[in-house]
Structure 1
Amino acid sequence: MTTESDDVPTPWPVVELREFPGVEYAAYGIARQQKASGGIPMIRATEIVEGGVHVQEFTFVPPDVARRHPRSTLRSGDLLVVLVGRVGEAAVAGEEHAGWNVARSLAVVRWTPEGRAQQWDLWLRWWLKTSQSQSYLTLSSSNAEHMTLPLQALNRLPVPVPPAPVRERLLSLISLAERKNALN
């Protein structure tokens, strides 16, 4: 039996997150938190649960502190990645989170408009759930009292870059599976 060369899949290119298509940057949040009774809401790692942002009790930072951290001031569509504790768990910031900030225990992955239009944000959110990604994140983390992933290690996360038709088909199937799972 002969095999046409077109039948053999070629491996997808793999790039580090910092060079991934559509990534503007990845930054961590406010390191020295000065909590306030009012001000700018701040999301913590404990509030990233099962792919969503679930704020039970608001934590605020003074507006002047938040202004000094513009790279972690949220925009709708930013991907929030847990760096401390449940390393690699991720959620997407919604419209309601725009203008909020995040704690040091989270990274904010900011996307270019082209990256979001091509759904690279969804691809990365899915990739973070894979065993390959989780293995890399675990091996790259320090295991002190709480597992901690340095931002530099997140930026070096290897991410496959499938061709657009393959990516679109996979994301469609993943989206369908996630919707079915949510119904159960």
Structure 2
Amino acid sequence: MREGYKKTVLGEIPEEWTVKNLSEINEPNTKISYGVVQPGPEDINGVLFIRGGDIKSGKINNNLRTITNEVSAKYTRTILRGGELLVSLVGYPGECAIVPMELKGANIARQVGIVRITNEIDSNYIKQYLSSASGKKNLLGNLVGSAQQVINLDMLRKVNIPLPPLPEQQKIANILSTVDQKIENIEQQITENTQLKKGLMQKLLTKGIGHTKFKDSPLGEIPESWEDCTFGDIVSFSGGAQPPRSTFKYEPQDGYIRLIQTRDYKSDKYVTYIPEELARKRCNENDIMIGRYGPPIFQILRGLKGAYNVALLKAIPNKEKLDDEYLYYYISQYNVWAFVENLSQRSGGQTGVDLIQLRKYPFPLPPVEEQQKIATILTRVDNKLEVLQNKKTEYQQLKKGLMQQLLTGKIRTV
């Protein structure tokens, strides 16, 4: 054991740190408890009401339902005064947040636990610990229920917390909160740029750039110079092939090629390889691929190279008339997805893409030069979003590392 450290139920911690459970740091003469059991109907003039699903990513949802003043008055022990720690028991079990002062007077549901932490302890430090990997392990290690996991009050009360002296708690909480704020700022930029992209797509893919004369089309007004087409006029679709499962390998080897499946665009957890001679349908990183079956149906996918299976379609543009990037943005529109989804819902619950109907869907076609200009504008926004997402990931990894070091005392702030 390192000098200056001691063994505890939570592992090695600095000698001057202690370990206490949540009940021991809860205000005297109060109990960690849950809230309203039967909320009844909403009342727009009533009391704001926090449910388990309203607590996520360290915050409380702004769009809360309400309960009547009469119902809230029956549960005075959980009427909020601001500063309490709330823990979701059901919904997003283990998610926690500090109550902001603007929610003073609100109440909580049965699915939420309330901890009123004493003044000798920094509430934000406790929130940060419970949000860490070790804190979640302590809190969620023995979840009750298989279909819907539930934290019971006894589990919550017994969760052990490593406690530095108060000044060190505050320094640790401030460091982690600073990183949280940076992540929040990046998320706000991602939201703003996502909305910008949505607005640009709606405008550019229907009105183009610099047009003054328009004509009617099945999708509304479009520039007079654009050609009235459908998907079937300018795009072909090529379905994948399914080799025998007996030929699958799960490690790369000579003479084999990766088999691309819909799930592979989200994770490399199930990488599969097949013999080259069985790779009848192939795609590269820039090809526009479509998830043929749901849920969710009609995912527009890109970025992988290999042979693709029957659950995927490749969208192939007429190179003389249609730019690849323009097709990517056009086919990614919400309206196109909604059209395909609606057809799927009407076809007896089947979730396959109806190619016959998709080929009939309108595709107003600008000149290739204008297509490329539009695609360039949208690509710039996508590139910015990618940069922001990478920054967010970097700060999330930074916080994870800081939590592992600071909340265990491996790195000291004093």
Q: TM-score range by the shorter chain?
A: 0.7 to 0.9
> Which residue, out of 37, 40, 65, partners 1:34?
40
> Which residue, out of 15, 22, 27, partners 1:17?
22
Aligned residues: 174
Name 2:95's counterpart in structure 1: 89
After superposition, give the CA deviation of every residue in 1:9-49 in whole Å (9 maximum; x if it has no partner): 34332111100275754221111221233422211122112
More divergent stretch after superposition (147-156 vs 168-177): 168-177
Alignment partners' CA distance in 2, 1:144 and 1:61:
30
Alignment partners' CA distance in 1, 2:25 and 2:101:
24
More divergent stretch after superposition (66-75 vs 23-32): 23-32
Name 2:117's counterpart in structure 1: 111
Alignment partners' CA distance in 1, 2:26 and 2:65:
33
After superposition, give the CA deviation of every residue in 1:101-159 in whole Å (9 maximum; x if it has no partner): 111111111234x24xx52x011100111222211222232123221000111010011
Name 2:152's counterpart in structure 1: 150
- TM-score when normalising by structure 1: 0.83
Give the letter for the 1:13 counterpart.
T
Q: Which has the larger radius of gyration?
A: 2
Kept after mapping to 2: 8 A contact 1:43/1:55:
no
Kept after mapping to 1: 8 A contact 2:90/2:151:
yes
Alignment partners' CA distance in 1, 2:181 and 2:48:
29
> Which residue, out of 52, 61, 71, partners 1:54?
61
- Unpaired runs of 5+ in structure 1? none
Alignment partners' CA distance in 1, 2:21 and 2:126:
11
Alignment partners' CA distance in 2, 1:169 and 1:180:
17
Alignment partners' CA distance in 2, 1:61 and 1:165:
39
Alignment partners' CA distance in 2, 1:128 and 1:169:
17
Secondary structure at the aligned position of 2:37 is classed as coil
Aligned CA-pair RMSD:
2.1
Name 1:135's counterpart in structure 2: 137
- TM-score when normalising by structure 2: 0.39
More divergent stretch after superposition (103-112 vs 16-25): 16-25
More divergent stretch after superposition (96-105 vs 41-50): 41-50
Kept after mapping to 1: 8 A contact 2:56/2:92:
no
Secondary structure at the aligned position of 2:141 is classed as helix
Residue 68, structure 1, aligned to residue 74, structure 2: yes
Task: Report the identity percentage.
Answer: 25
Secondary structure at the aligned position of 1:85 is classed as coil
More divergent stretch after superposition (140-149 vs 71-80): 140-149
- Unpaired runs of 5+ in structure 2? 7-12, 187-414
Cα gap change, 1:101/1:21 in structure 2, threshold over 3 Å: closer, same or farther?
closer
Q: Per chain length, whose mean CA-contact separation is higher, i.e. which structure has more relative contact order (CA < 8 Å, sep 6+)?
A: 1
